[in-house]
Amino acid sequence: MGTLAADQPYLINVDNTASGNNKTALTVYYLTGGKPETPEREARLGRATKFDLLIAAAAARETFTREIPKGTRRIVIEIAPPRNVTVLLEVAQGTSSFPEACVAGCTLTFDVE
């Protein structure tokens, strides 16, 4: 989806206002080392040295500020919105912005330099 700088924090903006009374879950995986694989395979292989579980409140807009752990070379964000709801998501760092409309779950992958 894009590239993030390793030495700067980044934001995850979630617009969950269309969810009614339902929350949206986000899992952020920080992948390091090893031979590059697909993000899904790397997560299954246990190459995620750290992960964060974030919960966006029902019917709300949330901003999560995250630091990138040292040695991270790829970030994978999995979004699990409520059924039949479109959740608007933006990953931002500095002047870069990566918007996404997520329905029925989606995965965003970022390289880290």
Q: What is the pLDDT of residue 49?
A: 73
The pTM of the full predicted model, rounded to 2 decimals, is: 0.86
Rg (alpha carbons) of the chain, rounded to whole number: 14
Structural domains in the chain, sorted by start: 2-112 (2.60.60)
Average pLDDT over residues 4-24: 96
Q: pLDDT value at position 65?
A: 98
For the chain, strand residue ranges (E) read 2-4, 10-15, 24-31, 48-56, 61-66, 74-80, 86-93, 96-103, 106-112
The per-residue pLDDT for range 38-90, each reduced to its tens digit, is: 656 655 555 667 889 999 999 999 999 999 999 898 999 999 999 999 999 99
